[in-house]
C-alpha cells in the first residue's frame, strides 16, 4: 500500500511554455500533499504544502504565481510551472501524507509517501 504516482515522468519544453505535473495517491486518500524540487547532487527542497480544498502554502522564496498548485481531490494534486525558463529545469517530486495511528507522546505516525519524480528540462 501507499503508492504515489506522478505524470509525466519526463518532460522537455521550450522556454516560455507552461508544464503541468500530476501527483496521485493510488491506494489512500491524502488531505495533504507536498511538492519538492531537487537539483543534481542536492537534497530535496520543499516548495509548497498542498491541502485539499484550500490554497497551497508556499515556502519562502518560492513564487506562487510561477508554481501553481491545485489539490482538487483527496487523491490528486497538480503543479503547473508557468512560463518555464531554463533555470526551472529540475527534478520535481511530490509526496502524499497518509494519516497514521496514535503513538506515545501524543503524536501520530503521519507519513509522507513519495512519487517517482518528474524530470523537467526547459530548453
Partner 1 sequence: LAKTTQPISMDSYEGQEVNITCSHNNIATNDYITWYQQFPSQGPRFIIQGYKTKVTNEVASLFIPADRKSSTLSLPRVSLSDTAVYYCLVGGNDYKLSFGAGTTVTVRA
Binding site for partner 1 (CB under 8 A): 2, 4, 6, 32, 34, 36, 43-46, 49, 91, 93-95, 97, 100, 103-117, 119
Q: What share of the chain is helix, strand, coil (3-state, %, to 5)?
A: 0, 50, 45
Kindly state the smallest distance separating residue 49's Cβ from partner 1, in Å. Answer: 7
Q: How many CB atoms lie within 10 A of CB 56?
A: 21
| 69 and 89 Cβ atoms separated by less than 8 Å | no
Kindly state the smallest distance separating residue 110's Cβ from partner 1, in Å. Answer: 5
Work out whether strand 67-73 and strand 57-58 pair parallel, antiparallel, or are unpaired. unpaired
Q: Which is nearer to partner 1, 67 or 92 (CB)?
A: 92
Q: Which is nearer to partner 1, 13 or 44 (CB)?
A: 44
Q: 50 - beta bridge partners?
A: 33
Q: 22 - beta bridge partners?
A: 7, 78
Q: Which is nearer to partner 1, 2 or 82 (CB)?
A: 2
Kindly state the smallest distance separating residue 95's Cβ from partner 1, in Å. Answer: 7
Kindly state the smallest distance separating residue 108's Cβ from partner 1, in Å. Answer: 4
Amino acid at each position: 500500500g501507499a503508492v504515489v504516482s506522478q505524470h509525466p515522468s519526463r518532460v522537455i519544453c521550450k522556454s516560455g511554455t507552461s508544464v503541468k505535473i500530476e501527483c496521485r495517491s493510488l491506494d489512500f486518500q491524502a488531505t495533504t500533499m507536498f511538492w519538492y524540487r531537487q537539483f543534481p547532487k542536492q537534497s530535496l527542497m520543499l516548495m509548497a504544502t498542498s491541502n485539499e480544498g484550500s490554497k497551497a502554502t508556499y515556502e519562502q522564496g518560492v513564487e506562487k504565481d510561477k508554481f501553481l498548485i491545485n489539490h482538487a481531490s483527496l487523491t490528486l494534486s497538480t503543479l503547473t510551472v508557468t512560463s518555464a525558463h531554463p533555470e526551472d529545469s529540475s527534478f520535481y517530486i511530490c509526496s502524499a501524507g497518509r494519516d497514521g495511528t496514535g503513538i506515545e507522546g501524543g503524536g501520530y505516525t503521519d507519513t509522507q509517501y513519495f512519487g517517482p519524480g518528474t524530470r523537467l528540462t526547459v530548453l
